């Protein structure tokens, strides 16, 4: 049901039935090691290209999620996913292997919640019984497309972020027991004129703020409603900026109530500058880490706000600023 202009309230409470999380060797060194279902010890995954490695990460994550749930592969109605690579081909090839009806998305690093929101809407409306949604990214594939060759010795500024190698997905059912998706807010494109592609946190922070504000207003709740507000990949700089912006707008969050996936996945000794990014970043940390903690009963309500910077290498070279977006999805446990 539509609430306000851009928020959906899900009456039938679609439920996350199971998740599948895969990662690479660099992720294995981080503090979330035990939250992964499978960690590959080689960045190539023994594939010929980085893009194929990313495809494998996604396929394995979906297979694991299927194994963990009572749902059979044939029962899944749709596979809703996307990634960062040109024309989202790695996801398309995964969809081919999985042989599921496929809705391809591009929302950059906001793809995870974009997919989750759309899945919940379809399930809530009775247009599907089971949906697999998630995303994969690969550090080397993203570097190659968006930045410089992986072995080029360019110096990254402290605002830069590290693209996660891995995949996270969830199988969502129409109803059942477990963490339920209760509402979603689809964000607008926000562009505050930041042009530095090495400062995505700064570019995305206002998008996160706008979506959180709109969500509160349209759902008629305030910051005390949620135990945790989890942003996608703002990194240190984006988190700090958005935290202060929210405060300026009158939304007083507690420090530990406002967490960022990009600052959770890697440890302080890993050389990732401002934090992590990539479509898999929010998917892995939300489905792998925070959902797990929620099921264990640590908290009851969380708002996922995945953020995406929607630039391309071409738009950056043509001196366009970085358009950003954020979509929010609330997950609640009874």
Partner 1 sequence: MADQKNKAKQYQSFEDKRETKRPILLNCVKAFLVGGFICLIGQVITTFYIYYFDFTEQTAGNPTTATLIFITMILTGFGLYNRLGQFAGAGSAVPVTGFGNAVISAAMEHRTEGFILGVGTNMFKLAGPVIVYGVFAAFVIALIKTIFLQLGGL
Question: Where on the chain is the footprint of partner 1 (CB under 8 A)?
Answer: 48-50, 144, 148-159, 191-194, 199, 202, 205-206, 236-237, 240-241, 244-245, 271, 274
Q: Which is nearer to partner 1, 179 or 206 (CB)?
A: 206
Quick one: DSSP state of residue 110?
A: G
Q: Least distance from C-beta 230 to partner 1, angstroms?
A: 20
* C-alpha–C-alpha distance, residues 116 and 213, integer Å: 20
* CA distances in angstroms from 114 to 44, 76, 104, 231, listed in the order given: 28, 19, 11, 13
Q: How far is the CB of 30 from partner 1 (least distance, A)?
A: 18
| Shortest spacing between CB 169 and partner 1, in angstroms | 26
258 vs 227: CA distance, rounded Å: 9
Minimum Å distance from CB 123 to partner 1? 37
Residue placing its CB nearer to partner 1 in the complex, 73 or 144: 144
Q: Which is nearer to partner 1, 141 or 284 (CB)?
A: 141
Q: What tokens appear for 123 in the block?
A: 């399930």
Cβ contact 280:57 at 8 Å: yes
Neighbours of 102 (CB within 10 A): 16
Strands 180-185, 7-9: pairing kind: antiparallel
3-class SS at 278? coil
| Nearest alpha carbon to residue 164 among 298, 291, 263 | 263
Find, among 14, 285, 33, 329, the residue nearest to 168 by Cα.
285
Question: In terms of CB distance, is 59 or 191 closer to partner 1?
Answer: 191
E strand segments, 58-158? 78-82, 102-104, 130-137
Nearer to partner 1 among residue 264 and residue 273 (C-beta)? 273
CB of 167 to partner 1, least distance (A): 20
Closest to partner 1 by CB, 36 or 243: 243
- The nearer residue to partner 1, 242 or 330, going by C-beta atoms, is 242
In the complex with partner 1, which residue's Cβ is closer, 168 or 206?
206
Q: How far is the CB of 153 from partner 1 (least distance, A)?
A: 2
CB of 120 to partner 1, least distance (A): 31
Contacts 24+ apart (CB under 8 A), 41-50: 43/138, 43/139, 43/140, 43/165, 49/141, 50/138, 50/140, 50/141, 50/144
**At closest approach, how far in Å is the CB of 33 from partner 1?**
22
At its nearest, how many Å lie between partner 1 and the CB of residue 244? Answer: 7
Which residue in 226, 213, 303, 216 sits closest to 3, CA to CA?
216
Q: What single string gives the DSSP state of each residue in 287-302?
A: IIIIHHHHHTTS-SEE
Cβ-based nearer residue to partner 1, 147 or 292: 147
In a 13 Å sphere around the CA of 275, the CA atoms on its Cβ side amount to 26
């Amino acid at each position: 049901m539509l609430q306000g202009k851009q928020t959906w309230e899900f009456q039938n409470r679609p439920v996350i039935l199971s998740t599948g999380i895969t990662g690479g060797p660099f992720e294995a060194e981080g503090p979330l090691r035990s939250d992964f279902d499978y960690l590959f010890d080689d960045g190539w995954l023994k594939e010929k290209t980085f893009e194929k490695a990313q495809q494998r990460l996604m396929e394995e994550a979906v297979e694991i999620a299927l194994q963990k749930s009572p749902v059979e592969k044939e029962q899944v109605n749709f596979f809703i996913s996307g990634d960062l690579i040109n024309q989202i081909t790695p996801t398309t090839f995964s969809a081919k292997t999985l042989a599921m009806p496929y809705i391809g998305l591009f929302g950059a690093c906001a793809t995870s919640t974009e997919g989750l929101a759309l899945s919940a809407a379809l399930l809530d409306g009775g247009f599907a019984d089971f949906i697999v949604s998630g995303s994969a990214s690969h550090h080397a594939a993203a570097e190659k497309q968006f930045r410089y060759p992986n072995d080029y010795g360019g110096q990254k500024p402290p605002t830069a972020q590290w693209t996660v190698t891995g995949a996270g997905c969830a199988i969502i059912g129409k109803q059942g027991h477990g963490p339920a998706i209760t509402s979603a807010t689809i964000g607008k494109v926000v562009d505050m004129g930041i042009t530095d592609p090495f400062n995505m946190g700064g570019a995305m922070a206002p998008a996160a703020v706008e979506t959180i504000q709109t969500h509160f207003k349209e759902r008629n709740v305030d910051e005390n409603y949620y135990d945790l507000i989890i942003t996608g990949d703002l990194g240190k700089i984006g988190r700090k900026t958005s935290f202060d912006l929210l405060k300026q707008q009158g939304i007083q969050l507690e420090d530990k109530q406002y967490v960022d996936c990009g600052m959770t996945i890697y440890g302080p000794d890993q050389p990732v500058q401002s934090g992590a990014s990539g479509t898999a970043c929010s998917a892995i940390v939300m489905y792998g880490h925070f959902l797990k903690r929620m099921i264990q009963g640590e908290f009851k309500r969380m708002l996922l706000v995945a953020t995406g910077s929607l630039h391309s290498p071409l738009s950056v070279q043509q001196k366009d600023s970085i358009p950003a977006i954020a979509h929010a999805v609330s997950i609640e446990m009874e």
